[in-house]
């Protein structure tokens, strides 16, 4: 019992030492103040530091192989990474994606969970309680400047996306509540504040949905390009899309889900790298294994930069580590994609 207590007390110091080593190697002369929340997820982060220092340093610098792989989680990356490592090689993951609301402080604790496990954090910053028009007006500049300062202090590379799937109808930052012009103005306003603050450790990822056209009455998505902030304001383009079944009951493939928007963004973004920022397969019917192979094979055929698997529950349950046949198909597809 005493040994366990001592280990628990010592662990925060170990985390700080590791972080200090990363910062020194990335030419930081001082360690910025870091206050990790005392939660079970933080404890998990300390307990699952599977990445060696070299991999942590590589993640901090934003250096990773291409094509890359990643997983998306709702929050607390360390807990999910620990579960993932039981079924798959953790070293194959280069990115871990999680979500936060606009106006909330920068999630430094969760970002460190990613880096200490050897992954670059991809943060989806979503304006759930504020309109893009308000953001563009400057009313929330204090919050944006605070967030930018925190990212700069964090020091390691961060991939940042704002208002993902904006071209759909299901979020307030899409039609009809937000126009493309309002969204673009908000994106550029945020980008300009970061630039003025001298934040250089951000990769800006613009992430539209694969959906387009009218799905049902009151449910219409548009071509992604209508919402594109412009080449100056975007580094990467990430497409979100999930495979299920068509209205006629046919299993969907890569072309059906990603074909239209992939061509659309490539026609308007002048060579920006494209990747799949969210994907998953509905576990239904006999075509599951074949459908899991689709995003990996399609991404490879179209020379996409990477794939991020949504390892969580949303409209459907896309989690890994629950069914052997799903895990086997995922690992087979991933291995082929990364070759």
Average pLDDT over residues 132-139: 98
Token pair recorded at residue 239? 């497409």
Residue 217: the pLDDT is 87
Residue 30: the pLDDT is 40
Residue 257: the pLDDT is 97
Is the pLDDT assigned to residue 5 strictly greater than 50?
no
60 three-state secondary structure: helix
Is the pLDDT assigned to residue 276 strictly greater than 90?
yes
Residue 176: the pLDDT is 94
Per-domain residue ranges of the chain:
2-338
Query: Could you tell me which residues are beta bridge partners of residue 281?
Result: 243
Is the pLDDT assigned to residue 32 strictly greater than 50?
no
Contact predicate 251/245, CB 8 Å: yes
Is the pLDDT assigned to residue 13 strictly greater than 90?
no
> What sign does the dihedral 172-231-106-62 (CA atoms) show?
positive
> What sign does the dihedral 278-284-289-294 (CA atoms) show?
negative
Is the pLDDT assigned to residue 333 strictly greater than 50?
yes
Q: What is the mean pLDDT of the chain?
A: 88
Residue 216: the pLDDT is 86
Region at 70 (left for phi over 0; alpha for psi -120 to 50; beta for the rest): beta
Is the pLDDT assigned to residue 82 strictly greater than 80?
yes
Domain 2-338 adopts which CATH fold? TIM Barrel (3.20.20)
Q: 315 falls in which pLDDT band (50, 70, 90)?
A: confident
Contact predicate 202/151, CB 8 Å: yes
Residue 1: the pLDDT is 46
Is the pLDDT assigned to residue 42 strictly greater than 70?
no
Instruction: Give the Cβ contact number of residue 270 at 10 Å.
Output: 8
The percent of residues in the chain predicted with pLDDT above 90, rounded, is 79
Contact predicate 70/98, CB 8 Å: no
Distance CA 129, CA 111 (A): 23
Average pLDDT over residues 21-32: 43
What is the per-residue pLDDT across 170-200, written as a single tens digit (0 to 9) for each? 999 999 999 999 999 999 999 999 999 999 9
Distance CA 293, CA 308 (A): 14
Return the minimum-mean-pLDDT range out of 48-52, 111-115, 139-143, 274-278. Answer: 48-52
Distance between terminal CA atoms of the chain?
A: 46
Residue 50: the pLDDT is 64
Residue 248: the pLDDT is 87
| pTM for this entry | 0.87
Contact predicate 273/310, CB 8 Å: no
325 three-state secondary structure: helix
């Amino acid at each position: 019992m005493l040994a366990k207590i001592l280990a628990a007390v010592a662990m925060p110091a170990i985390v700080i030492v590791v972080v200090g080593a990363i910062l020194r190697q990335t030419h930081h002369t001082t360690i910025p103040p870091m206050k990790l929340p005392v939660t079970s997820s933080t404890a998990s982060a300390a307990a699952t530091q599977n990445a060696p220092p070299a991999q942590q340093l590589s993640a901090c610098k934003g250096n990773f192989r291409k094509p890359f792989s990643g997983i998306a989680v709702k929050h607390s990356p360390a807990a999910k990474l620990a579960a993932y490592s039981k079924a798959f090689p953790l070293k194959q993951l280069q990115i871990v994606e999680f979500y936060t609301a606009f106006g909330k402080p920068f999630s430094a604790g969760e970002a460190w969970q990613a880096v200490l496990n050897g992954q670059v954090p991809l943060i989806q910053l979503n304006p759930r309680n504020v309109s893009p028009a308000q953001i563009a007006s400057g009313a929330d500049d204090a919050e944006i400047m605070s967030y930018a300062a925190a990212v700069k202090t964090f020091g390691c590379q961060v991939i940042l996306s704002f208002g993902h799937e904006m071209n759909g109808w299901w979020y307030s930052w899409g039609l009809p509540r937000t126009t493309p012009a309002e969204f673009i103005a908000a994106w550029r306003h945020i980008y300009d504040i970061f630039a003025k603050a001298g934040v250089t450790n951000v990769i800006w990822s613009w992430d539209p949905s694969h959906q387009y056209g009218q799905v049902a009455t009151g449910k219409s998505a548009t071509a992604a390009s209508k919402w594109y902030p412009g080449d100056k304001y975007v580094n990467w383009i990430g497409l979100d899309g999930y495979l299920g079944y068509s209205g006629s009951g046919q299993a969907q493939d890569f072309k059906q889900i990603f074909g239209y928007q992939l061509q659309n963004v490539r026609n308007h973004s002048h060579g920006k790298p494209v990747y799949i920022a969210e994907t998953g397969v509905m576990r239904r019917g006999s075509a599951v294994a074949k459908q899991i192979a689709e995003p990996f094979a399609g991404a490879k055929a179209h020379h996409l930069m990477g794939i991020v698997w949504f390892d969580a529950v949303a409209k459907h349950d896309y989690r890994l580590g629950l069914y052997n046949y799903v895990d086997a198909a995922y690992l087979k597809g991933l291995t082929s994609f990364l070759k």
